[in-house]
């Protein structure tokens, strides 16, 4: 695999998304978010993942403007918050987000969570926003196979992405295969297990073999599975480290060892039982 920092995944509607992005969950709005985005852009990253729920869309927009990099060279994702789901609310809240960013379009708009009784109407609103070219692509997050099947049955617009928790300790192979066979790109959130498993013994031993950190191995593992990956960091050194994952290759054998770490371990909410 010869990915570079600029490598893109081609989505089912032809839009391209950089494989590697910066997640900004739990980064304070204002200076902290602006600095993180600036450092990621300086490290060559051109993809930022935020959400209405994170409260920092305005700071992401500011940081992008201040960078001087043309807006169209940076891929920005945001997500409709649960309490704003439903047809009318989604349309209204999307425009609020747009205003906060100070943009006239969003690259990727996601349903943050498959809220029961609302997700169908939310998706109808997403279709309209896409049709009006207010966003370049629409997708979902935290959808299980069941939620995806329901959506595919109801709509002719296939979500471009399913953003879910994904790392070797939660290697959701069945979901990955389902997404692949339906042209839905997988995107890994909490790829570093929010830092909780970075000292896992197997991971540490593989990292030392490649003279890399365990965080770099986790990001590289996702990339080698052709999964879009959005590690979060508010720390300059970590941001640079997380971008330095393109100059080595994990062997097939070690990829299998990493795959075998799966233990259905989650750091985020589990959508499995959402009706
Ligand atoms: P991650 O798995 O990315 O882990 C982030 C944690 O790892 C932070 O504590 C960070 O600390 C630390 N870290 C980052 N880089 C390194 C490094 N090189 N070495 C050591 N520690 C490091 O967690 P997130 O849950 O934030 O997931 C990433 C992104 O995914 C989010 O920011 C968000 O954009 C998205 N997401 C989406 C969800 C959804 O429901 N759709 C749910 C959760 C996340 P520090 O800042 O100090 O570097």
Residue 3 has pLDDT above 90, yes or no: no
Would you tell me which CATH number, out of the four given (3.20.20.100, 3.30.479.30, 3.40.190.10, 3.20.20.70), belongs to the domain 8-195+225-235? Answer: 3.20.20.100
- What confidence tier does 272 reach under pLDDT thresholds 50, 70, 90? very high
Q: How many other CB atoms sit within 10 Å of the CB of residue 227?
A: 19
Does this model's pTM top 0.85? My answer is: yes
pLDDT confidence tier of residue 1, bands split at 50, 70 and 90? low
Q: pLDDT tens-digit profile of 169-181? A: 999 999 999 999 9
For residue 5, what pLDDT is reported? 86
**What was the pLDDT predicted at 101?**
98
pLDDT digits (tens, 9 = 90+) for 35-81: 999 999 999 999 999 999 999 999 999 999 999 999 999 999 999 99
Pocket of ligand 1 (CB under 6 A): 23-26, 49, 112, 141-142, 163, 189-195, 198, 213, 215, 230-235, 238, 241-242, 268
Length of the chain: 275
Question: Which whole number is the average pLDDT over 170-198?
Answer: 98
The pLDDT tens digits for 222-246 are 999 999 999 999 999 999 999 999 9
pLDDT at 148: 98
- Residue position matching structure tokens 């928790």: 165
Distances (CA, A) of 201 to 2, 86, 141, 205, 258: 28, 45, 30, 6, 11
Q: Is residue 8 scored above 70 in pLDDT?
A: yes
pLDDT: which is higher, 5 or 119: 119
Alpha-carbon gap, residue 13 to 10, rounded angstroms: 8
Q: Using an 8 Å Cβ cutoff, are 175 and 188 in contact?
A: no
Residue 137 dihedral angles phi and psi, to the nearest 5°: -160, 155
Residue whose CB lies within 8 A of the most ligand 1 atoms, among 18, 21, 23, 240, for a mutation test = 23
Q: Where are the domains of the chain?
A: 8-195+225-235
CA–centroid distance, residue 22 to ligand 1 (Å): 9
- The per-residue pLDDT for 58 is 98
- The CA radius of gyration of the chain, in Å to the nearest whole number, is 18
Mean pLDDT of all residues in 109-114:
98
Which residues are identified as catalytic? 54
DSSP string, 5-70: TT-EEEPTTS-EEESB-EE-TT--TTHHHHHHHHHHHHTT--EEE--GGGT-HHHHHHHHHHH---
Under 8 Å between Cβ of 9 and 228: yes
pLDDT of residue 4: 85
Residue 202, sorted as left (phi over 0), alpha (psi -120 to 50) or beta, turns out to be: alpha
Three-class SS state of 91: helix
DSSP β-bridge partners for residue 186: 162
The β-bridge partners of 228 are: 187
Largest CA distance in the chain: 53
In this structure, how many other beta carbons lie within 10 angstroms of the beta carbon of residue 234? 16
């Amino acid at each position: 695999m010869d990915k570079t920092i600029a490598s893109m995944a081609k989505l089912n509607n032809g839009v391209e998304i950089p494989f590697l992005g910066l997640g900004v969950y739990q980064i304070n709005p204002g200076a902290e978010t602006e600095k993180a985005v600036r450092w990621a852009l300086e490290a060559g990253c051109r993809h930022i993942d935020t959400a209405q729920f994170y409260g920092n869309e305005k700071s992401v927009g500011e940081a992008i403007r201040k960078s001087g990099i043309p807006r169209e060279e940076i891929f920005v994702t945001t997500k409709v918050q649960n309490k704003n789901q439903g047809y009318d609310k989604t349309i209204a809240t999307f425009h609020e987000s747009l205003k906060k960013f100070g943009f006239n379009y969003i690259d990727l708009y996601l349903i943050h969570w498959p809220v029961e009784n609302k997700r169908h109407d939310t998706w109808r609103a997403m279709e309209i926003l896409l049709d009006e070219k207010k966003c370049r692509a629409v997708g979902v997050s935290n959808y299980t196979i069941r939620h995806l099947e329901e959506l595919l049955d109801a709509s002719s617009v296939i979500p471009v992405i399913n953003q879910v928790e994904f790392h070797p300790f939660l290697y959701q192979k069945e979901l990955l295969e389902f997404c692949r066979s339906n042209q839905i790109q997988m995107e890994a959130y909490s790829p570093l297990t929010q830092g909780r498993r970075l000292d896992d013994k197997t991971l540490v031993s593989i990292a030392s073999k490649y003279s890399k950190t365990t965080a770099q191995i986790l990001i590289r593992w996702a990339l080698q599975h052709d999964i879009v990956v959005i590690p979060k960091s508010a720390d300059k050194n970590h941001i640079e480290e997380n971008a330095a994952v393109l100059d080595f290759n994990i062997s097939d054998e070690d990829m299998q060892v990493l795959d075998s770490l799966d233990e259905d371990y989650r750091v985020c909410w589990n959508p499995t039982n959402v009706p």
